[in-house]
Structure 1
Amino acid sequence: MTILFYKLFLGFIVGSLIGLFSYITHLLTKSGMIAIVFVATIVCGFGSWFTWGLLILFFCSSGCIHLAKKRINMTNLDTVAEKGHTRDALQVLANSLPAIISLVLFYYTKNQLFLIGYASGIAGATADTWSSEIGILSKSAPRSIISFKPIQPGLSGGVSLLGTIASSLGSLLISVVFWLLYRPDDFSTFPQIFILIVPFICGIFNSLVDSLLGATLQAKYRCSICGQLTENKQHHFHTTQQIGGLSWLTNDWVNFFSGCLTVLFSWIILFYAQQ
């Protein structure tokens, strides 16, 4: 199959516009802007307008939530997190690559399993992002997904009622839009309900796996000045001491592995549904 040049060019142009706007509004760093151009070009080249629409919906909805928080001065709550809200290239790629891999596989195989896998990956990224962005606003302290004890807001591995609701709504948004954008006859292999249910379930699955990995394997540090737990190697301009997790497993890797497991989970569900 030949990838049409005009589709790649269109993805490059639109991705550049989105990236530039996101950079100006401090949603992306320079590297993040370059990464979003790459992602947009690939998705537009290998996908169609509706797969492109899901990606735009993910980035725009997440950006709008951040900008709304910024207007009410609520963006400084998660200072213990490894990175801030301005996403760099690693954050962009970690959230989008698993879904993109599934989309490329669909392009070459035309197996609908991979297309639904792409939607599941985007639903997962949206669910996790909404959970992090909105959950931090909860008035009650989040609780560890492992011990259920209260932990610091913004620290990976924490869950809250508000964050869980936000995660479900983010996954539902992508799933419903995906279901609405495709004609029923496009999915003769699977029951129509699978188009809606599988991405929705996988989106919530992603958020849970992300929290589990964040609570158990992601590197955690303690500040020698204030004693606060953090995901940063430095706090108060001093080197922090690692107290748990794997030193190389950053939040970006957690997001990437969660996305991969989510897409794989959707493949497994659909594979057995075909039997």
Structure 2
Amino acid sequence: MKPIIAIPATLFLCYRAYSHKSLTPGGIFAAFLTAIAHAVHPWNLPFALLVVFFLAGTRVTKVKKDYKATLTVGSQGTAGGEGPRNHVQVLANSVVASVFSIMHGYQLRRRQAALLSSVTTPGYNPSSPNDLGSLCFSWGGDLLVIGIIANYACVAADTFSSELGILARSEPRLITSPTLRKVPRGTNGGVTLLGLAAGLSGSMIIVAASMFFLPLCTDETAGKLGGGARGWSANERRMLMLGLAIWGALGSLMDSFLGGWFQRTVRDVRSGKIVEGEGGSTVLVSTETSASESKAYDKNAATADEDKDATAKDEAAVEEDDSVDKTGASDGKYDARDKHRRPSFGDEKPSRVVENGWDLLDNNDVNFLMAFIMSFGAMGVASWYWNVPMHQIFD
């Protein structure tokens, strides 16, 4: 990509993220490095997809943001909803595409250099390496291009599905449950028809953008530098768009399966809402405290006067528990951010319980794993369909 375009565009993205508070300072720095990794590619495609994903993702995140914040609760006792994304979240969605972009850009420039060195025609002096052959994308071309598009189609579908699916009128169904049981909104692995449709829409946006910026070859422009053998027919272009759009939507489903199996979902007992970890991190679960453990804690941690105060606080907590309605509202005495409260809240029961899932991955791990699997999976399907060996991505 030309520096005259890449530099202002990168600065604009960083400023927009800062002014809209969509990224933390660490997230902005990670986005800056990601933009550089995409901008070094000779094509505009990788950088354009990064921009489209960022703008579309931040837009859907803000749809009914205040209302979505009431549907879940934060792990620190604050309101739920998506806050500014940090560097881990940025890299989880884009690092696979960044690596592929660097690899494919290197392939193109190496081919240019090899072809330039092989020119032996006396008096031939090309004005630029592009004069040696077309940089367009031929049918049956480089698999890494498919991987880059698939990555952003899948992460966009996942973002759209998560941010808009939670607004569905119907309760989500747990996709990993044999009975597809209903679960609270925000549950990892919970899906709705609105979320599935939103995921397909997000994938289609990325695919449409890729078709606009992807330099597809015709039979007249097909050349060695872009890989492949010939140009694209109109029917083959339509098949490429349809296949990538569906693959992106499948990525959203893959994320739901991975989240439902390997990511622990924690539910707040009193409000019945799902607890979201800050920055996609794992949510801690308070353990059940027995009566004897509580008495030992009171004896060792406080004086006789402090014991009396602690007992009064426990009794007040029980009364406040009765005052909490189904929506989680209270009379104002209960403060979830009080870090000095006993974990049992006076009722000898945990305040948070596991709704589903194993505690093996956090949300960022799931996003990265999904992007990795689906990107390589898309290249595998293209390798089979085009009869192009997978090791070509390293050539």
TM-score band by shorter chain is 0.7 to 0.9
For the structure 1 residues 230 and 206, does the alpha-carbon distance in structure 2 shift closer, same or farther, using more than 3 Å as the test?
same
Q: 1:27 Cα deviation (Å)? A: 1.1
| Alpha-carbon distance in structure 2 between the residues aligned to 1:240 and 1:270 | 45
| Alpha-carbon distance in structure 1 between the residues aligned to 2:64 and 2:18 | 17
| Alpha-carbon distance in structure 2 between the residues aligned to 1:104 and 1:52 | 11
User: Are 2:54 and 1:79 equivalent residues in the alignment?
Assistant: no
2:50 aligns to what? 55
Cα deviation 1:153-202 (Å, max 9, x = unaligned): 12211111111111001101111221233343167557434531332122
| Alpha-carbon distance in structure 2 between the residues aligned to 1:109 and 1:80 | 47
Matching residue's letter, 1:140: S
1:162 aligns to what? 194
2:310 aligns to what? none
For the structure 1 residues 23 and 246, does the alpha-carbon distance in structure 2 shift closer, same or farther, using more than 3 Å as the test?
farther
Assess if the C-alpha contact under 8 Å between 2:174 and 2:182 holds in 1. Answer: yes
1:112-123 mapped onto 2 (5 Å cutoff)? 112-123=142-153
1:28 aligns to what? 23
Q: Which stretch has the larger CA shift, 26-35 or 42-51? A: 42-51
1:92 aligns to what? 90
Matching residue's letter, 2:183: I
Cα deviation 1:225-264 (Å, max 9, x = unaligned): 5565535425834684557544351000000000001101
Assess if the C-alpha contact under 8 Å between 1:124 and 1:206 holds in 2. Answer: yes
Q: 1:208 Cα deviation (Å)? A: 0.7
For the structure 1 residues 214 and 274, does the alpha-carbon distance in structure 2 shift closer, same or farther, using more than 3 Å as the test?
same
Percent of paired sites with the same residue: 26
1:204 aligns to what? 249
Q: 1:31 Cα deviation (Å)? A: 1.2
Matching residue's letter, 2:249: I
Cα deviation 1:28-74 (Å, max 9, x = unaligned): 1111111111111110113522321111111101112233434xx33
1:217 aligns to what? 262
For the structure 1 residues 47 and 198, does the alpha-carbon distance in structure 2 shift closer, same or farther, using more than 3 Å as the test?
farther
Assess if the C-alpha contact under 8 Å between 2:22 and 2:58 holds in 1. Answer: yes
| Alpha-carbon distance in structure 1 between the residues aligned to 2:74 and 2:243 | 30
| Alpha-carbon distance in structure 2 between the residues aligned to 1:102 and 1:196 | 20
Q: 1:11 Cα deviation (Å)? A: 4.1
Task: Give the secondary-structure state (helix, strand or coil) at the position aligned to 2:375.
Answer: helix
For the structure 1 residues 144 and 246, does the alpha-carbon distance in structure 2 shift closer, same or farther, using more than 3 Å as the test?
closer
2:289 aligns to what? none
1:134 aligns to what? 164
Task: Give the secondary-structure state (helix, strand or coil) at the position aligned to 1:184.
Answer: coil
| Alpha-carbon distance in structure 2 between the residues aligned to 1:87 and 1:20 | 15
Assess if the C-alpha contact under 8 Å between 2:37 and 2:101 holds in 1. Answer: no
| Alpha-carbon distance in structure 1 between the residues aligned to 2:242 and 2:74 | 32
Assess if the C-alpha contact under 8 Å between 2:40 and 2:102 holds in 1. Answer: no
Q: 1:220 Cα deviation (Å)? A: 2.7
The size of the alignment, in residue pairs, is: 268
Matching residue's letter, 2:265: K
Say which of 106, 109, 118 aligns to 1:108. Answer: 106
Q: Which stretch has the larger CA shift, 156-165 or 15-24? A: 15-24
Assess if the C-alpha contact under 8 Å between 1:80 and 1:155 holds in 2. Answer: no
Q: 1:131 Cα deviation (Å)? A: 0.6
User: Are 2:202 and 1:182 equivalent residues in the alignment?
Assistant: no
2:12 aligns to what? 17
| Alpha-carbon distance in structure 2 between the residues aligned to 1:227 and 1:167 | 26
For the structure 1 residues 23 and 156, does the alpha-carbon distance in structure 2 shift closer, same or farther, using more than 3 Å as the test?
farther
Assess if the C-alpha contact under 8 Å between 2:52 and 2:209 holds in 1. Answer: no
Assess if the C-alpha contact under 8 Å between 1:29 and 1:87 holds in 2. Answer: yes
Q: Which stretch has the larger CA shift, 142-151 or 244-253? A: 244-253
Calculate the TM-score normalised by the size of structure 2: 0.61
Calculate the TM-score normalised by the size of structure 1: 0.85
